[in-house]
């Protein structure tokens, strides 16, 4: 069971879509960036650092750890896997070992690769923890950002098989609705942000803006059975039936029973060309940087090119991040080749040990002008709009790789207007590492743009502050954030009173005891397979 997950035997995850493994660069087969944020199928991970060492034996007088190279204990497992690893086609590397071996590996891997390895509390002792997962939970910095939030809110784990399904295909257990936790403590407010097509939620007619008022007979607004609410809202596996009392936007109250299923995310759901008095404006709803989004984004930009759009509104209010290469492809298609030629999309900064033995050139993600083969044949030229200005719709779930799009475009002189609320604040990323069937995510790098800018740990502030308008569909020109973006484009100023009468969901992990909607694996920044090479 993942730490911090009180209700579920599911792996601990995060919002976004990301990938893989590699204790040393020579062994890396995939790299990614990550972050966290609202929907069915989330793990609801509590992202606050543990102050109690929960999961330990309670012993505090243990001797200091003797840390040896992680390669000495890698793949020594208390319960070795057998068979073939579907991600590599090779036999699992697991060998018979013990929990002590697994804990020794976690401790060493953190010491070698964690960005803030020298800020690990000295009170953490390997011998005090029963499992490597419990130990990993406390192997992170306790420092705070300037605003007072934990510097590391993004430390999590996944069952490896579940992680591979999420990042490669966008598959996650749920009902097909994305939940927005507008208020996580009583009186609570839980809304449906959007619904995935061809899912149990869609079949039941549940749509954006619907209010969830009872779950399995428990009052969502005031109920005290929080574990029951979380277990039903965020199912850990397929095949779990739960009863929902929902209030549709027209006021109708009805009860529906939904059974969780393996939901395949549709990362690009709405592509529109809006005719305005000052020209054609493209609108694109983009929800996840997963592998399947590559083909969908290329199709969308081909459509925009054919329509002759002159401006773009990129809606990433619910996009927690994912594969960094997808963010780079997207930014290139927005800005075009002239603005991005020989420029850096994102430069990665690791700890001072240079744990992966990288040269400066190895740390650079360029603006990618051809497809990488994630869901299209590799090497195809990408369409480009060549825009000098773009508007991004944001919220507290806009995280990591999504923030990289904003920061990367600004680094090459593209004017990025941000309409919505402050983003989640994750200029960091992971190289996910599988060991013995658990994939560990510990922050290993910070990303900066072509100008060296990347200090947004407290989020990217909006140009126009606009709450989330659940009374209108996404892509509707009357919807609050899109309407404000169109007004800003035509008048050059923000509409007045844009926060009045609309709702804003709480940031991921800050609304306990009710869990936030997005799983940690859907809120991140990850590198594509083979992205790094060692010199």
Residues 203-244 pLDDT 10s: 999 999 999 999 999 999 999 999 899 999 999 889 999 999
Q: What is the mean pLDDT of residues 91-104?
A: 97
Beta partners for residue 205, in sequence order: none
Cis status of the peptide bond prior to 20, with omega within 30 of 0: yes
The per-residue pLDDT for 496 is 78
Q: What is the mean pLDDT of residues 290-302?
A: 96
Determine contact, residues 151/141, Cβ cutoff 8 Å: yes
Mean pLDDT of the chain: 83
CA 437 to chain centre: 21
Residues 185-202 pLDDT 10s: 899 999 999 999 999 999
Residues 360-408 pLDDT 10s: 999 999 999 999 999 999 999 999 999 999 999 999 999 999 999 999 9
Where residue 184 falls among pLDDT bands split at 50, 70, 90? confident
249-274: b (≥16 Cβ within 10 Å) or e: beeeeeebebebbebbbbbbbbbbeb
CA distance 335 to 340: 7
Where residue 513 falls among pLDDT bands split at 50, 70, 90? very low
Sign of the Cα torsion 338, 16, 164, 136 reads: positive
The per-residue pLDDT for 170 is 60
The per-residue pLDDT for 497 is 55
CB count within 10 Å of CB 331 equals: 27
| % of the chain residues with pLDDT over 90 | 69
The per-residue pLDDT for 511 is 32
CA dihedral 455, 113, 103, 438 (to 10 degrees): 70
The per-residue pLDDT for 168 is 63
CA distance 277 to 182: 35
| % of the chain residues with pLDDT over 70 | 80
Q: Where are the domains of the chain?
A: 268-496
* Predicted confidence (pLDDT) at residue 432 exceeds the cutoff of 90: no
Per DSSP (E only), the strands in 343-457 are 344-349, 364-366, 389-394, 415-420, 428-430, 433-435, 438-441, 443-448
- Which 3-state string (H, E, C) describes 476-520? CCCCHHHHHHHHHHHHCCCCCCCCCCCECCCCCCCCCCCCCCCCC
* Predicted confidence (pLDDT) at residue 59 exceeds the cutoff of 50: no
CA dihedral 368, 372, 376, 380 (to 10 degrees): 60
CA angle 373/378/381 to nearest 5° reads 120
CA distance 318 to 465: 16
* Predicted confidence (pLDDT) at residue 43 exceeds the cutoff of 50: no
CB burial class (10 A; 0-12, 13-18, 19+) of residue 306? Answer: exposed
Least confident range of 38-42, 93-97, 273-277, 473-477: 38-42
Please name which of 403, 398, 405 lies closest in space to residue 328, comparing C-alpha atoms.
405
CA distance 293 to 267: 6
CA 257 to chain centre: 28
Phi/psi at 182 (nearest 5 deg)?
Answer: -70, -40
Sign of the Cα torsion 338, 339, 342, 345 reads: negative
CATH no. of 268-496: 3.90.226.10
């Amino acid at each position: 069971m993942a730490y911090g997950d009180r209700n579920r035997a599911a792996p601990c995850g995060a919002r976004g879509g990301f990938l893989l493994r590699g204790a040393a660069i020579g062994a890396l087969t995939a790299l990614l960036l990550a972050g966290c944020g609202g929907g069915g199928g989330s793990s609801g991970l509590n992202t606050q650092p543990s102050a109690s060492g929960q999961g330990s034996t309670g012993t505090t007088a243990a001797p200091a750890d003797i840390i040896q190279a992680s390669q000495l204990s890698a793949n020594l497992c208390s319960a070795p896997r057998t068979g073939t690893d579907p991600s590599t086609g090779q036999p699992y590397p697991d060998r018979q070992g013990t929990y002590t071996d697994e804990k020794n590996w976690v401790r060493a891997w953190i010491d070698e690769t964690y960005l803030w390895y020298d800020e690990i509390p000295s009170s953490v002792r390997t011998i005090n923890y029963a499992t490597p997962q419990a130990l990993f939970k406390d192997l992170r910095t306790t420092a705070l950002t300037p605003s007072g939030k934990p510097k590391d809110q993004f430390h999590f784990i996944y069952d490896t098989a579940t992680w591979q399904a999420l990042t490669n295909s966008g598959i996650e257990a749920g009902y097909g609705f994305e939940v927005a936790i507008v208020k996580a403590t009583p009186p609570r407010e839980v809304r449906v942000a959007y619904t995935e097509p061809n899912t149990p939620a869609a079949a039941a007619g549940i749509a954006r803006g619907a209010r969830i008022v009872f779950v399995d007979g428990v009052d969502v607004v005031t109920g005290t059975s929080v574990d029951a609410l979380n277990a039903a809202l965020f199912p850990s596996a397929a095949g779990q039936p739960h009863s929902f009392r929902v209030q549709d936007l027209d006021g109708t109250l009805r009860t529906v029973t939904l059974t969780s299923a393996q939901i395949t995310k549709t990362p690009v759901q709405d592509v529109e060309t809006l005719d305005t008095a000052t020209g054609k404006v493209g609108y694109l709803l983009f929800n996840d940087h997963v592998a399947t989004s590559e083909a969908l984004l290329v199709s969308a930009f081909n459509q925009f090119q054919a329509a002759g759009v002159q401006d773009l509104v990129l809606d990433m209010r619910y996009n927690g991040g994912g594969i960094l290469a997808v963010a780079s492809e997207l930014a290139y298609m927005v800005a075009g080749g002239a603005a991005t030629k020989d420029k850096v999309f994102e430069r990665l900064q690791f700890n001072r040990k240079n744990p992966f033995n990288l040269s400066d050139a190895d740390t650079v993600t360029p603006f990618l002008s051809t497809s990488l083969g994630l869901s299209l044949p590799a090497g195809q030229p990408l369409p480009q709009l060549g825009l000098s200005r773009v508007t991004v719709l944001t919220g507290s779930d806009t995280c990591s790789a999504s923030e990289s799009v904003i920061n990367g475009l600004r680094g090459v002189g593209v004017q990025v207007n941000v309409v919505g609320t402050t983003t989640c604040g994750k200029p960091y990323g992971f190289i996910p590492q599988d060991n013995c069937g658990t994939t560990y995510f510990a922050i290993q790098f910070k990303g900066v743009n072509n100008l060296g800018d990347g200090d947004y740990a407290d989020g990217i502030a909006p140009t126009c502050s606009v709450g989330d308008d659940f009374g209108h569909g996404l892509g509707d020109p009357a919807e609050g954030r899109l309407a404000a973006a169109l007004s800003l484009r035509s008048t050059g100023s923000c509409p007045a009173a844009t926060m009045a009468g609309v709702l804003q969901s709480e940031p991921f992990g800050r609304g306990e005891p009710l869990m936030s909607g997005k799983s940690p694996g859907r809120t991140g920044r990850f590198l594509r397979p083979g992205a790094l090479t060692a010199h």
